[in-house]
Chains A and B, each alone.
Chain A
Amino acid sequence: MTGIVDIVYAEYNYWIYVTLMMIGFYAMIAKKNLIKKIIGANIFQTAIFLFYISLADITGGTAPILVGGHGGEHVEHAADVIYTNPVPHVLILTAIVVSVSTTAVALALIIRIYNEYGSLDEDVILAARKSLQPEFSEYARQKDVAEVNHQ
């Protein structure tokens, strides 16, 4: 059993990332409330950020800002200092901005949906759409047929 414990401990960042990501994934597909779906998507994205940043880490490494790079101080030789990997940091900085943008647009759409239908529940919204225009939503009709078959 010590082998398994060692494997889990050596890659515990990966286990935490998978757990968080699956929590977000479950919220995205199982919850009916649109706000909770957005929260799930955010947890999912955060898990990926965490995964990338943890991949960049080097034991004993410092932040990727050059030591003594401001001039005036004693500049150590670059090989003497271990820096963590800067490339995932940059990628995740991009991803965070995109995440903020998508969340903002999604929340704005949800506000409009709430003003229109008076509900955030997926089933209520689909039922309201179906009653407005019977052949409007293909998905809603298929869902209805499936429910009838189930009964």
Chain B
Amino acid sequence: MKTLALLVVVITGAMLIYAGQDLPPFGDPNTDMYQHRMTQYFIENSKTESGVPNIVTALLANYRGYDTLGETTVIFTAGMAVMLLLRRRER
């Protein structure tokens, strides 16, 4: 069982490293991801559109507001689930 697990892990790791040869070098600014116009748009316009200097907060609360609402719902639901599973009955 353990040798099988080790085999699976090693094969998966080798495949990931093989696939990772296409990734850009660490810290390279000339990547598609950084030069993409969406990233540049957020960096240039988030202050004028959202009024907050922290770009991460502007993205989180303004552009991705739906997602953050869902995220808050996720953590609320997790808390309620733990409450249902573990809370002893109050008599």
Contact present for B64 and A58 (CB under 8 Å): no
Chain A, interface residues (CB within 8 Å), range: 35 or more
Per the CB 8 Å criterion, the residue count for chain B at the interface is 48
Query: A7's closest neighbor in chain B, by CB?
Result: B21
* Alpha-carbon gap, A10 to B79, bound state (A): 42
With an 8 A cutoff between CB atoms, is A102 at the interface?
A: yes
Give residues 79-95 of A contacting B (CB, 8 Å). Answer: 82-83, 85-87, 89-90, 93-94
| Contact code string A47-84 (vs B, CB < 8 Å = 1, else 0) | 00000001101110100111001100000001000110
Contact present for B86 and A21 (CB under 8 Å): no
Query: B51's closest neighbor in chain A, by CB?
Result: A69
Q: Which of A30, A83, A109 contacts B5 (CB 8 A)?
A: A30
Q: Which of B26, B59, B60, B71 contacts A13 (CB 8 A)?
A: B26
* Alpha-carbon gap, A94 to B72, bound state (A): 9
Shortest distance between the CB of B91 and any CB in chain A (Å): 19
Contact present for B67 and A69 (CB under 8 Å): no
Give residues 1-27 of B contacting A (CB, 8 Å). Answer: 1-2, 5-6, 8-10, 12-13, 16-17, 20-21, 23, 25-27
Contact present for A86 and B42 (CB under 8 Å): yes
With an 8 A cutoff between CB atoms, is A12 at the interface?
A: yes
Which chain B residues have a beta carbon within 8 Å of chain A's beta carbons?
1-2, 5-6, 8-10, 12-13, 16-17, 20-21, 23, 25-29, 33-34, 38-39, 42-44, 46-47, 52-56, 59-60, 64, 67-68, 71, 74-75, 77-79, 81-82, 85-86
Pairs A–B under 8 Å by Cβ, sample size 29: A14-B20, A15-B17, A21-B13, A22-B13, A25-B9, A26-B5, A30-B5, A30-B6, A55-B23, A57-B27, A58-B34, A59-B28, A65-B53, A66-B47, A66-B55, A69-B53, A85-B33, A86-B43, A90-B56, A90-B59, A90-B60, A97-B71, A100-B78, A104-B78, A105-B81, A108-B81, A108-B85, A111-B85, A112-B85
